[in-house]
Amino acid sequence: MTSDVRERTLAKRLFSANTLWIALVLLVLIAVFGAIRPDAVLTTFTLQTTLVETSVLLVLSVGMTYVIITSGIDLSVGSVLVFSGVTSAMTMNAMNDGNATDAGWGTVLVGLVVALVSGAAWGLLNGLLVAKTGIPPLIVTLGSFGAALGAGQLISNGSNVSGVPDVLSDNLGTGTWFGIPNLVLLAAVVTGIGALVLATTRFGRYTYAIGSNEEAARRVGIAVTGHLVKVYLLAGTLAGLAGFMALAYFRVASITGHDTDNLNAIAGVVLGGTSLFGGAGSIVGTVLGVFIPAVLRKGFVIVGVNVYWQPIAVAIVLVAAVWFDQSRRRARNQR
């Protein structure tokens, strides 16, 4: 009997059709831009800056991937990022008589903890509401999207918070390690752990199972409620970390600058082949999906394409990816 049951090779499993397709899109984009302006596109400078500029969004998108795989959605991540940045920056300032610019590592550490806890608190709230009350995640996180931003404005009195410690921005924000920006390293570590947990552990397996068929997961004894809370908690905590990273990068907790972060993260995740219907997706795909809009933006500026074309091109790629995913599923379900 065993001979009938073949296993696919590792390479095949790593690159399911969808991921491979999206990787090809990314490579083609880089190749096209590279062919037009090899001197400007295929440089360490462009690589470095593109990676740094995508790090914060990537961390948000890792959490978003988990949420979307459970067939949920988290619209609140951008606001939670703002809230965490504000609480973190204000705590650091308060510890240093209102201006933390010259503060030391102790302050930075407290700031990190505050950012993570702030993010986790919103994630926990989202998770409890989604898992225990049965309110659709869209509505729950639409609520916290408004509430977290409002709370951030309330605490900061509506204006951007500055006074970020120099040790934080100089090391995490612009520092490098053997030529690799530290911000990129941090994002890469988070993404790597996120990818491993999703692909190899029971936590990841349950995330897929719940998104694929919540009732089936419940019937086999998976603690669905608790797992959903954990997934939203993860997304919130990562948004908190992203808020801290944004602090280091921009040297300011910006209130109005993250209005579309949630949509950018969702777009990246969906572009990467994670299904909005849940049950399928991967962090590898998300990484590719996040970089496609980033590369498009950068490439268009470098080759000097009319600025109005850029959002149109991003939209076309996004819609095409979702359409592809849906037709693939339709084909499968017809069997």
Partner 1 sequence: MAEPLLDARDLVKHYGSVEALRGASFTAYAGEVVSLIGDNGAGKSTLVKCLSGAEQPDSGTISFDGRTISLPTPTAARALGIETVYQDLAVAPDLDPAANLFLGRELRKPGVLGWLGVLDKKEMRRLATSSFGDLGVTLQSVDVPIGSLSGGQRQSVAVARSVVWASKLVFMDEPTAALGVVQRERVLDVIKRVRDQGMAVVLISHNMPEVLAVSDRVEVLRLGRRVARFRAADTTVEELVGAMTGALSQEDA
Partner 2 sequence: MSTRTVALLGAALLLTACGGGGQIGDTGGTGDNKKMVLIPGVAAEPFYISMECGFREAAKAKGYEVDVQAPAKFDSTLQTPIVTGVLANKPGAVLIAPTDDKAMAGPMKQLKDAGIKVVEVDTKLEDTSIAVSTVSSNNEQGGQLAARTLAKLVGEKPGSVLVLNTKAGTSTTDARAKGFEDEIKKFPNLKYVGQQYTDNEPDQAASKLTATLAANPDLIGVFATNLNTGEGAATGLRNAGRTGAVNLVGFDASPKQVQDLRAGAVQALIAQDPATIGRTGVEQAVAALEGGTAERDIETDLVALTKDDMDANEKYFYKQQC
Shortest CB 204 distance to partner 1, Å = 8
Contact 272, 288 (CB under 8 A): yes
Contacted entry of partner 2, partner 1, none for residue 332, CB cut-off 5 to 8 Å set by kind: partner 1
- Contact call for residues 83 and 247 (beta carbons, < 8 A): no
Q: Is the CB of 52 or the CB of 280 nearer to partner 1?
A: 280
The entry of partner 1, partner 2, none that residue 4 binds, CB within 5 to 8 Å by partner kind: partner 1
Question: How far apart are CB 191 and partner 2 at their closest, in Å?
Answer: 18
Site residues (CB under 8 A) for partner 1, limited to 150-169:
none
Residue 280's binding partner among partner 1, partner 2, none (Cβ under 5 to 8 angstroms by kind) is partner 1
Which position among 26, 120, 217, 233 is part of the footprint of partner 1 (CB under 8 A)? 217
From residue 157 to residue 196, the character string flagging contacts with partner 2 as x (rule: CB under 8 A) and all else as - is xxxx-x----------xx------x---------------
Matching residue, tokens 């990246």: 268
- Report what 222 binds from partner 2, partner 1, none; CB cut-off 5-8 Å by kind: partner 1
CA distance 88 to 98: 13
In angstroms, rounded to a whole number, what is the distance separating the alpha carbons of residues 241 and 116? 6
> One-letter amino acid identity for 84?
S
Crossing angle for the helix pair 261-271 and 283-303, to the nearest 10 degrees: 110
Pairing of strands 180-181, 176-177: antiparallel
Among 43, 49, 99, 201, indicate the residue that binds partner 1 (CB under 8 A): 201
Distance CA 174, CA 242 (A): 15
Q: Nearest 5°: CA angle at 270, between 267 and 275? A: 150
What is the distance of C-alpha 202 from the center of its chain? 22
Which one of 304, 330, 334, 335 is in contact with partner 2 (CB under 8 A)?
304
Q: Look-up: residue for tokens 């006074």?
A: 163
Nearer to partner 1 by C-beta: 117 or 199?
199
Among 130, 168, 187, 209, binds partner 1 (CB under 8 A): 209
Closest to partner 2 by CB, 29 vs 75, is 75
